[in-house]
């Protein structure tokens, strides 16, 4: 397998606001990314709420940034009827926000086991029931849903869909309007990755996220690496998604309480830009 | 899916010496497990080396304990020719130790990426080349090899075989004398688990390990839970391996620097015994 051609410029670079969440508000991120020549942004909903949806939409439009995703819908499995109703309400607001921001997709982190439950198959069924309920509403709003399979170490508490294969099985049962977000951090270890990317194809590949897997990883949530600092062969995986037809943005999403969240945000952005030309 | 019948007694209870490694030497574990009515033991090689292989074999025989596994062979991928030679030598010693202890299997933790490498497919190929080299020697020594797929969070640094499906693919290419060790901690999240256990069948199911996945998991290596304290539906998975024909031991293996290694070893063993009758 040869690597794909290097990335020539930053015309398809997006930054997920989680990457600078410790340093910058959403307003600061919009301004800072645009000033640095970054072309896309993927905001988190708590930051959208803090800024106000209308204000966020206006500022992003003014900065001419493409919204490559809204993070996040999901957290579907419920413990009781009230929990189910609250979950659906929250996801309906997420759909509305994604529509208002003209986002390329609403990222779904599907949720883990309900509190006290060991019923993994039951959680899987709840995920599908919730998606089946919400998908017609997302379609009507013009919002594409993107299931993001999370690393299996999050199966219990964040997402019980842990492989691209499982995510695509769900997409096939759901029909139009839903696809996948491929984050190298979550899927790099999977022996079926290339095959499942091929299976997804251009229609289902809605987002491509990059960061790196550090050795050692000191924290299961807050120690993701900058591209090039870990063990993931990112160009190999980028080659696979491009061969499958993906021609969208490369979205950098780094949760790093232990390192990058402690640095000056401008340095983080410049490092993302440089690494995207050299190691992605 | 109904749970299988409860476990009636401790006649198939084995304890992996990792469970009490902070408290007990191998000699103390042999004596302590036998005195507690535990019928099996799975020793680690550093503890065998500290006690001396002949002494360990003699003491285990005298205590009438079944050796349900020797931990561990593997760590196959190499960085250079000297590393490859050292790896093969070490695995040959592991085979000899497993033979001397009359172990039911030599557990293989296959290893991750060589230092500095991002070539996951290359690491997979090295794993198969090493197993193909060593398997005839294991067969000649009467030792069954058991590939233990490890959780994907260990793919980079401990084992690049992370699903039962991948392990069984390798077994099929290798032929007789090799099977799998199923540890609920590593595989509980896998949507294909039941199907792959069925595929393995009695012939390839060489060991069944139990512990639990805690929420939150505070450390990626040293925070495994006691059975019943986490989210794994252990009886469900035990039902699957038994339906596939497995009638061997239930081996408790708990790495827990954060909790169980701090407790008195006798309490740990009694808790293992009680939980095996109630939640396994």
| Closest to B150 measured CA to CA, from B53, B250, B255 | B255
pLDDT value, residue A4: 84
Q: Are B120 and A188 inside 8 Å of each other by CB?
A: yes
pLDDT given for residue B47 in this prediction? 98
Of all residues in chain B, the one with the smallest CA distance to A159 is B189
Q: How long is chain A?
A: 280
Q: What per-residue confidence (pLDDT) applies to A206?
A: 98
Whether the per-residue pLDDT at B4 is higher than 90: the answer is no
| pLDDT in the model for residue B2 | 52
Instruction: Count A/B contacts: CB-CB distance under 8 Å.
Output: 73
CB contact under 8 A, A152 and B155: no
Q: Residue written as tokens 């061997």?
A: B248
A120: nearest CA partner in chain B: B189
pLDDT surpasses 80 at B126? yes
User: What is the layout of strands, in order, in the sheet containing A178-183?
Assistant: A66-67, A40-42, A13-16, A250-252, A205-210, A178-183, A145-147, A106-109, A70-74
Rounded alpha-carbon distances, angstroms, from residue A179 to A165, A204, A248: 12, 4, 14
Q: Which two tokens stand for residue B73?
A: 């062979």
The DSSP code sequence of B35-78 is HTT--EEE-BHHHHHHH-HHHHHHHHHHTT-EE--EEEEE----
Q: Does B189 touch chain A (CB under 8 A)?
A: yes
Q: What is the pLDDT of residues B177-186, one digit of tens each?
A: 999 999 999 9
Contact of B221 with chain A, judged by CB distance below 8 Å, is answered with no
Closest alpha carbon within chain B to A119: B233
Phi, psi of B217 (to 5 degrees): -95, 115
Q: Please name the residues in contact with B169: beta carbons below 8 A apart, sequence gap of 6 or more.
A: none
Q: What is the mean pLDDT of residues B131-153?
A: 98
Q: Is B182 helix (H, G, I), strand (E, B) or coil?
A: strand
Q: Which residues pair with A108 in a beta bridge?
A: A73, A147
Tell me which CATH homologous superfamily contains domain B13-278. Divalent-metal-dependent TIM barrel enzymes (3.20.20.150)
Structure tokens at B134: 């060593």
User: How distant is the Cα of A42 from the closest Cα of chain B, in angstroms?
Assistant: 26
- Whether the CB-CB separation of A231 and B118 falls below 8 Å is answered with yes
A residues 111-170 lying closer than 8 A (beta carbon) to B: 113, 117-121, 124, 151-153, 155-157, 160, 162-163, 166
**B196 at A interface, C-beta within 8 A:** no
pLDDT recorded at residue A1: 45
- Paired with A250 in beta bridges are A13
What is the distance in angstroms between the Cα of A29 and the nearest Cα belonging to chain B? Answer: 31
Taking only the tens place, the pLDDT of each residue in A91-109 is 999 999 999 999 999 999 9
Nearest CA in chain A to B157: A215
Q: What ipTM is given for this predicted complex?
A: 0.97
Higher pLDDT, B5 or A185: A185
pLDDT at residue A2 in the model = 52
- Read off the pLDDT of each residue in B100-109 and give the average, rounded to a whole number: 98
Question: Nearest-5° angle of CA A32, CA A34, CA A35?
Answer: 65
Is residue B68 over pLDDT 70? Answer: yes
Please, which residues have CB within 8 angstroms of residue B30's CB and are 6 or more apart in sequence? Answer: B41, B56, B59, B60, B63, B65
Please identify every stretch of chain A with a pLDDT value under 70, giving residue numbers as ranges: 1-3
C-alpha to C-alpha distance for A113 and A132, rounded to whole angstroms = 19
Residue that the structure tokens 């009758």 belong to? B277
Give the model's pLDDT for residue B168: 98
Coil, helix or strand for A134? helix
Interchain proximity B220–A217, CB inside 8 Å: yes
CA distance B70 to chain A (A): 26
**Which contiguous run of DSSP H or E holds residue A69?**
none
Paired with A210 in beta bridges are A252
Residue-level pLDDT at B218: 96
pLDDT (average), residues B189-203: 98
Q: How many other C-beta atoms can be found within 10 angstroms of the C-beta atom of residue A62? A: 11
* Interatomic CA distance for residues A158 and A105, integer angstroms: 19
A185 contact partners, CB below 8 Å, separation of at least 6: A151, A209, A211, A212, A213, A224, A232, A253
Coil, helix or strand for B161? coil
Q: Which residue in A has a C-alpha nearest to residue B232's C-alpha?
A: A118
Name, in order, each residue with C-beta under 8 angstroms of A71's C-beta and a sequence gap of 6 or more: A16, A17, A18, A42, A43, A44, A45, A107, A109
Cα gap A165→A156, rounded to integer Å = 18
| Contact across the interface for A151 and B153, Cβ inside 8 Å | yes
Instruction: Provide, as residue numbers in chain A, all residues whose Cβ is less than 8 Å from the Cβ of B123.
Output: none
Secondary structure class of A229 (helix, strand, coil): coil
Q: Give the distance, in angstroms, between the CA of residue B146 and the centroid of all CA atoms in the same chain.
A: 8
Taking only the tens place, the pLDDT of each residue in A54-84 is 999 999 999 999 999 999 999 999 999 999 9
Confidence of residue B228 (pLDDT cuts 50, 70, 90): very high
User: Does the pLDDT value for residue B191 go beyond 60?
Assistant: yes
pLDDT of residue B1: 45
Task: Give the C-alpha separation, B143 to A154, whole Å.
Answer: 36
């Amino acid at each position: 397998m040869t690597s794909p051609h290097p990335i020539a410029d930053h015309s398809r670079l997006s930054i997920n606001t989680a990457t600078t969440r410790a340093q910058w508000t959403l307003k600061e991120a919009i301004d800072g990314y645009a000033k640095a020549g970054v072309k896309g942004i993927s905001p988190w909903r708590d930051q959208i709420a803090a800024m106000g949806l209308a204000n966020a939409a206006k500022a992003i439009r003014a900065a001419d940034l493409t919204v490559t995703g809204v993070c996040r819908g999901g957290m579907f499995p419920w413990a009781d009827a009230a929990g189910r109703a609250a979950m659906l309400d929250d996801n309906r607001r997420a759909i509305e926000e994604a529509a208002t921001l003209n986002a390329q997709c609403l990222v779904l982190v599907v949720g883990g086991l309900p509190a006290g439950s060991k019923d993994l198959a039951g959680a899987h069924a709840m995920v599908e029931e919730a998606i089946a309920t919400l998908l017609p509403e997302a379609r009507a709003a013009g919002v594409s849903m993107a299931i993001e399979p999370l690393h299996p170490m999050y199966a219990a508490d964040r997402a019980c869909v842990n492989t691209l294969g499982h995510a695509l099985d769900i997409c096939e049962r759901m029909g139009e309007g839903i696809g996948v977000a491929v984050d190298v951090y979550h899927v790099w270890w999977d022996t079926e990755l290339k095959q499942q990317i091929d299976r997804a194809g251009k229609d289902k590949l809605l987002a491509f996220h990059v960061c790196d897997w550090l050795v050692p990883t000191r924290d299961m949530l807050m120690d993701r690496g900058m591209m090039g600092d870990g063990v993931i062969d990112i160009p190999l995986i980028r080659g696979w998604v491009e061969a499958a037809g993906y021609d969208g943005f490369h979205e950098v999403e780094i949760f790093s309480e232990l390192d990058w969240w402690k640095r000056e945000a401008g340095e983080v952005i410049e490092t993302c830009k440089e690494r995207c030309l050299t190691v992605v």
